[in-house]
Structure 1
Amino acid sequence: MAQVNFRVDDSIKERAESACTAMGLTMSSAINIFLTKVANEKRIPFEVSVDPFYSEEHIAMLERRIADMKAGKKVHEHELIEAE
């Protein structure tokens, strides 16, 4: 049996371990399930996408609003919250 080592943020590891425990799994078994799915299906078994919050457009808009606030322009709360 092979051993795989990798680094992960401490907070993510703690939250993942907690979720695995709640599901009755060890972290090792959860990672084995993931790798088995990748090996069998030859794909990541969930959607991988970019969070739109971090898009260049959105970051630029936030930077403009921050600059407006720093310049003393009144910014209304509803301008800061994106409604769906």
Structure 2
Amino acid sequence: MANDTKVTARIDPTLKSEAEALLDDMGLNFSVWITMATKALVNERKIPFEVKASPFYSDENTKILEDRLKKYTAGSSTSNHGLLEDK
């Protein structure tokens, strides 16, 4: 380990605590998890998990927003502002 490189990252404290608790349940720590994820990245030559946009950018939600914009510009706005991620 004398030849290891130190990596520094900023992360929300609550998110870090939740992740540490999960990793602890698995018998791991952040350092081991980062090494595992990095090895998977290098070996697979891709991010080792699915990366996708939030529900806010889904086709269904975009249609809802476009419909609301049409109503708003026509002068008939609605008071319901919930989006799909609110459901």
Range into which the TM-score falls when normalised by the shorter chain: 0.5 to 0.7
1:38 aligns with 2:41: yes
CA RMSD of aligned residues (A): 2.9
1:57 and 1:20, CA in 2 relative to 1: closer, same or farther beyond 3 A?
same
Alpha-carbon deviation of 1:40?
Answer: 1.1
Structure 1 stretches (4+) deviating beyond 3 angstroms? Answer: 58-61
TM-score calculated relative to the size of structure 2:
0.64
| Offset of residue 59 of structure 1 | 7.9
Task: Flag the 1:40–1:51 CA change in 2: closer, same or farther, 3 A.
Answer: same
The alpha-carbon deviation at position 22 of structure 1 amounts to 0.5
Post-superposition CA distance 1:30-60 (Å, at most 9, x none): 11100110011110011100111x2262783
User: Identity of aligned pairs, percent?
Assistant: 30
Mapped pair 1:48 → 2:51? yes
**Counterpart Cα distance in 2 of 1:20 and 1:14:** 10
Gaps of 5+ in 1: 70-79
The structure 1 residue matched to 2:62, chosen from 35, 38, 57, is 57
1:68 alignment counterpart? 79
Residue type matched to 2:32 in 1?
Answer: S
Calculate the TM-score normalised by the size of structure 1: 0.66
